[in-house]
Structure 1
Amino acid sequence: MIDKVVEVVSPERALRREAARRTLRVLNSGYGNHGASRTKKSLIGWNHKGGSPDDDITDNLEVLRQRSRDLYMGGPLATGALKTLRTNVVGYGLRVKPQIDADFLGMSDEEADEWERHVEREFQLWAEDCDAGRMLDFYEMQALVFLSMLMSGDVFCTMPMIERPGNPYALKIAVIEADRVCNPPGVTSPNIRGGIEVDQFGAPIAYYIAQKHPLDSKSMQNKWARVPVFGERTGRRNVLHLMEFERPGQRRGVPILAPVIESLKQLTRYSEAELMAAVVSGMFTVFITSKTPETPLGEAVPLEQQVDVTDENSYELGNGAIIALGEGEDVKEVNPARPNTAFDSFVMSMTRQIGAALEIPYEVLVKHFTASYSASRAALLEAWKMFRMRRSWLISKFCKPIYNEFLYEAVARGRINAPGFFDDPIIRAAYSNAEWYGPSQGQIDPLKEVNAAKIRVQEGFSTRAREATELTGSDFEMIVRQRTKEEKMMREGGLLTNASENQEVLGVPGVENEE
């Protein structure tokens, strides 16, 4: 009301009041003076608009996935990053070591050891033929699932029951690529986005899985199946959704290369351009100037020697060929000045930034260890923090749930004796407890690493079982059993003649030979 009165009486004063009001709106305070400033010239052009997790992630996944896969197929650095993660996190496969709660279950140590060895044998039998597609074993599926999750952002696994002759177990694993979980045509419900239906709390209750891959150029028609997350009668999980969360309320995963897609693509283009320039510089390259462009440039290379016979406008020079010039034509030499001396340092700088975003130190990413022992070891240790974290994630989201499903069927079929398994969840948890072991950390100086492990065991900071796993990826109990057998064979063969030699071989101070 006041503004309207002032505007009638004094338009100039009304204009000044409006200008002052606009100025107040843009005055900054706190973070508004820094990262949230709307007046700094360095930040005015920043396109910072964001949205919900579905707006920012789910709606952009189609482009992110395809660009990520394209980089994997054609970008050496991207391929190396993903394969480095796969090899160090999964390697030859994560192996199970049952660790049941024997005290709670009322079992002696000998009974628990025998039960655990029996379960290992049964699980190995199941693991050899667990793929619904009959192409991979369980350990190869770990590598596929992990690599697909990195490349596409997430991956899905169903657990159908398929009876096969000669196989006592029906549980199988079917790996589903991320693209196949999507909204069917015509579905507009706000609770269904990215092929995932959620309840009022945001918990997934069903997945919409396409029968064929949506990007398959040969498929004409497609059908979708609505698969509940949990079974209605048993409450057991039907679908495993493997993804890493970065925001609350997130439904779909983000490819690990997403933050560095532009950097990787530009670096790949730059490398290809430098490679082509280096190839050209290795040839005697000339420009031919002509006053009569319609006239062919000298004599043609024989048809059988031409590289591009389909393009009539291309002209080729053979190795050591001398081609006569036409009338009015001249030759000018070209020197592309390659290789570029700044190429390596620039690529190294960009690789460090990309490695930082992927949590892979530069030395590990490019397999280039030229620094000191301490620096190289620090890079390996930093990388293995991330490798162990991702391995723990894979065990929690993929290995353990499937191992629990295996125990369900094995106990139900009577192949494994577990009294009370179906009666009480805490008893089931006591039987299901297990450790998972994978490839050990690389060693720069094995002697120093072994001595450090020895001191940790002697001082009580670690155990022989843990150190055996960390150094060699082996099971300490299996090592002891094998070494006992070997020592017996050596004594019987006369290779060990006294207690001191036996003590030296075993490496256990203060232990006397019983003989």
Structure 2
Amino acid sequence: MNVIAKAIDGIVTTVSPEKGLKRAAARRQNQILNSGYGNHGASTTKKSMKGWLFGGGSAREDIEDNLDVLRQRSRDLYMGVPLATGAVKTMRTNVVGRGLKLKPTIDREILGITPEEAQKLEKQIEREWALWAENNDCDMARLDNFYELQQLAFSNWLQSGDCLALLPTSKRKNQPYDTRIQLVEADRLCSPYYIDKLDGSIVNGVEVDQNGEVIAYYIANRHPLSYEQKEMKWTRVKAYGSKTGRKNVLHLMSRERIDQRRGTPFLAPVIESLKQLGRYTDAELVAAVISGMFTVFIEKEDNSEGDAIGNIIPEDQQVDEEDEGSIEIGAGAVIDLAAGEKAHDINPGRPNANFGGFVEAICQQIGAALEIPYEVLMKRFNSSFTASRGALEEAWKMFRTYRDWLARDFCQPVYEEWLSEAVAKGRISAPGFFTDPLIHYAYCKAEWNGPAKGMLDPVKEVNAAEKRVSNGFSTRANETMEMTGGDFYANVEQLKKEEEKMKEVREIAKKGTETSAKGTKTE
């Protein structure tokens, strides 16, 4: 504050202490507002910011109190708006596809075994796993195998924000394993009688202790929105077993905020945009259909009550003769209008020339929010090779992130639970599995491989893969998995068998040729 301003403030304060105090307060407030973010994003004085209504709260107020509406709207969009359906299915197909496949990678150095022993054990684990995972018996409902359950769990997470998986046991005929997977829809996870605890220990069916650790889940015996004539009851399921410490519940969710206990639907940030775009698309579709019809208005100078113009057409030639409000014009008909009547045709101007460009701009914003590039979201690769390749690369960064998350939170825990049963029943030999956590970890190490990334130009992609391998930037196993989703070692073994067969065929063909040549020479 300069000398003149101080002098003026001193005079005002002497004459009127009250006004002097107000000047000082106003000056102080102005200093605060004009510092840092207060002069930009946090400004409350700029005209562009004054009309901004905002409010905030914890994860509970901002997210969890709104989940019921978000879930139902998200599912409605999935069932009725094509773009929303496409976004969810694009995620499911590229992240899960036909299911993430198990590849055991046991740590042989920790276990102190040879590479041959490790490979033999891994093959045995794969065979036993296939016996359980590829059978519908792994599902408590006995409807899907493990790979189909992955698709169902991930799709439900996309639409609802979270999904539960229980791991009960149940004996079944001709199945050596008792471990089962029971998926539970997000709505069934709710507080008893829909009442959360005031102290925050139970919120939306999730119970935590004083340290914030999740200790239990409350699961309703039926869907809250179901018409079933059955009394609602809740079961408290501990998150971990009291004696074994095993996971009783797998809670599939992705947190956005600290202290958040329930997940948000994948489409939550773009619900309004998708709904408005769906309405706009429907309106344009209806307008385009109407424009395909020839519409005529008859302008009259008086209020005459004569017959409608369409009544001139004989009833046997009318398309909709049963509708009294239908006025039709016959094919090639020449109709004489009454005195004072004029005919005006209507051109609704559809299809809208700006429809495609506008929808494309909105879809680009929606794709950016969902991390799905426009080209991938709309399945349109009509740009240059470089642009299309860049879109695929960006999309696969996101797909891999979600694939790793699904593998860590769903596939790997289920696999470890199954492997524990296999070892306990003696079907797989794993000394020290239950006594040493490090050995347990070494046996349980695994990779989960999913669908491969698409190739825009296979020749260029293969050449690039060869250079990466020759320069040591990658391995044949990694490139095989990335390009085809296959197993390099399985491919090598299969190629070895094929080469042996082809060698036999060549030898047989060669002997046949020699025999034929000898016969010709003898003659």
Matched, 1:236 2:246: yes
1:461 Cα deviation from its structure 2 partner? 1.2
Q: 2:443 aligns with which of 431, 440, 444?
A: 431
Structure 1 residues 329 and 237: CA distance shift in structure 2, 3 A:
farther
Secondary structure of 1:494's aligned partner: helix
Q: Distance in 1 between matches of 2:291 and 2:103?
A: 58
Match of 1:260 in 2: 270
The answer to whether the Cα contact below 8 Å between 1:228 and 1:238 also exists between their aligned partners in 2 is: yes
Secondary structure of 2:372's aligned partner: coil
How many percent of aligned residue pairs carry the same amino acid?
Answer: 53
5+ residue gaps, structure 2:
1-12, 511-523
1:292 Cα deviation from its structure 2 partner? 6.3
Matched, 1:334 2:342: no
Q: 1:367 aligns with which of 379, 396, 406?
A: 379
Q: Distance in 1 between matches of 2:52 and 2:36?
A: 19
Secondary structure of 1:175's aligned partner: strand
Secondary structure of 1:493's aligned partner: helix
Matches within 5 A, 1:123-138: 123-127=129-133, 128-129=135-136, 130-138=138-146
Match of 1:397 in 2: 409
Q: Distance in 1 between matches of 2:330 and 2:476?
A: 65
Match of 1:107 in 2: 113
- 1:24-48 superposed Cα distances (whole Å, 9 cap, x missing partner): 3354111101111111111111122
Q: Write the letter of the residue equivalent to 2:110.
A: F
Match of 1:121 in 2: 127
1:20 Cα deviation from its structure 2 partner? 4.9
TM-score by length of 2: 0.87
Match of 1:216 in 2: 226
1:287 Cα deviation from its structure 2 partner? 3.6
Match of 2:159 in 1: 151
Secondary structure of 1:38's aligned partner: coil
Q: 1:17 aligns with which of 8, 18, 21?
A: 21
1:183 Cα deviation from its structure 2 partner? 1.3
Once superposed, what is the RMSD of the aligned Cα atoms? 2.9
Matched, 1:270 2:253: no
Matched, 1:489 2:493: no
Structure 1 residues 234 and 40: CA distance shift in structure 2, 3 A:
same
Match of 1:250 in 2: 260
Matches within 5 A, 1:288-327: 299=311, 315=326, 317=328, 320=331
Q: Write the letter of the residue equivalent to 2:423.
A: V
- 1:7-62 superposed Cα distances (whole Å, 9 cap, x missing partner): xx999752563465256335411110111111111111112211000110000001
TM-score by length of 1: 0.88
Q: Distance in 2 between matches of 1:314 and 1:221?
A: 52
- 1:402-452 superposed Cα distances (whole Å, 9 cap, x missing partner): 000000111111111111111111111111011111111110000010011
The answer to whether the Cα contact below 8 Å between 2:139 and 2:180 also exists between their aligned partners in 1 is: yes
Q: Which moved more, 1:197-206 or 1:328-337?
A: 328-337
User: How many residues end up aligned between the 2 structures?
Assistant: 487
Secondary structure of 1:267's aligned partner: helix
Q: Distance in 2 between matches of 1:305 and 1:251?
A: 61
Match of 2:190 in 1: 182
Structure 1 residues 205 and 328: CA distance shift in structure 2, 3 A:
farther
Secondary structure of 1:202's aligned partner: coil
Q: Distance in 1 between matches of 2:399 and 2:388?
A: 16
Q: Distance in 2 between matches of 1:231 and 1:109?
A: 36
Match of 1:204 in 2: 214
1:295 Cα deviation from its structure 2 partner? 8.8
The answer to whether the Cα contact below 8 Å between 1:199 and 1:205 also exists between their aligned partners in 2 is: yes
Matched, 1:31 2:41: no
Q: Write the letter of the residue equivalent to 2:408.
A: S
Q: Write the letter of the residue equivalent to 2:235.
A: A
Match of 1:377 in 2: 389
- 1:320-367 superposed Cα distances (whole Å, 9 cap, x missing partner): 597999999875321101111111111111111111001111111100
Q: Write the letter of the residue equivalent to 1:240.
A: L
Secondary structure of 2:25's aligned partner: helix
Structure 1 residues 294 and 257: CA distance shift in structure 2, 3 A:
farther
1:67 Cα deviation from its structure 2 partner? 0.8
**Which structure is larger by alpha-carbon Rg, 1 or 2?**
2
The answer to whether the Cα contact below 8 Å between 1:295 and 1:326 also exists between their aligned partners in 2 is: no
Secondary structure of 2:193's aligned partner: coil
Q: Which moved more, 1:216-225 or 1:160-169?
A: 216-225
Match of 1:407 in 2: 419
Q: Distance in 1 between matches of 2:330 and 2:246?
A: 70
1:286 Cα deviation from its structure 2 partner? 2.7
